Amino acid sequence: MQIFAFPNRNLIQISGTDAESLLQKLISQDIKKLESQDALYACLFTPQGRYGYDFIIFREDDDLMIDTTRAQDLINRLDLYKMRADVTCTLREDITVYGSFENGDFLDPRHKELGYRLYHKPDHASEILLTEWEKRRISLGIFDGEQDSEMERSNADELHINHLNGIDWKKGCYIGQELTARMRYRGSGKKHLYIIEGDNLPEHGDKIGNSGIMRSKCANIGLALLKDDEIDELPYKITKIGQAEDK
Rounded to an integer, what distance in angstroms lies between the CA atom of residue 94 and that of residue 105? 17
Q: Which residues contact 160 (CB under 8 A, 6 or more apart)?
A: 141, 143, 192, 193, 241, 242
Query: Which letter does DSSP use for residue 148 in this model?
Result: S
> pLDDT (tens digit, 9 = 90+) per residue, 216-225?
999 999 999 9
Average pLDDT, the chain: 94
57-67 pLDDT per residue, tens: 999 999 999 99
Q: How many CB atoms lie within 10 A of CB 200?
A: 6
Angle at CA 15, nearest 5°, toward 107 and 22? Answer: 90
Write the pLDDT tens digit of every residue in 181-204: 887 777 667 899 999 999 999 999
Per-residue pLDDT, 67: 99
Domain edges within the chain:
4-139, 190-247
The answer, yes or no, to whether residue 245 has pLDDT greater than 60, is no
Q: How far apart are CA 223 and CA 197, in angstroms?
A: 9
Report how far residue 58's alpha carbon sits from residue 60's, in angstroms, rounded to the nearest whole number.
7
Q: 4-139 belongs to which homologous superfamily?
A: Aminomethyltransferase beta-barrel domains (3.30.70.1400)
Summarised one tens digit per residue, pLDDT across range 80-121 is 999 999 999 999 999 999 999 999 999 999 999 999 999 998
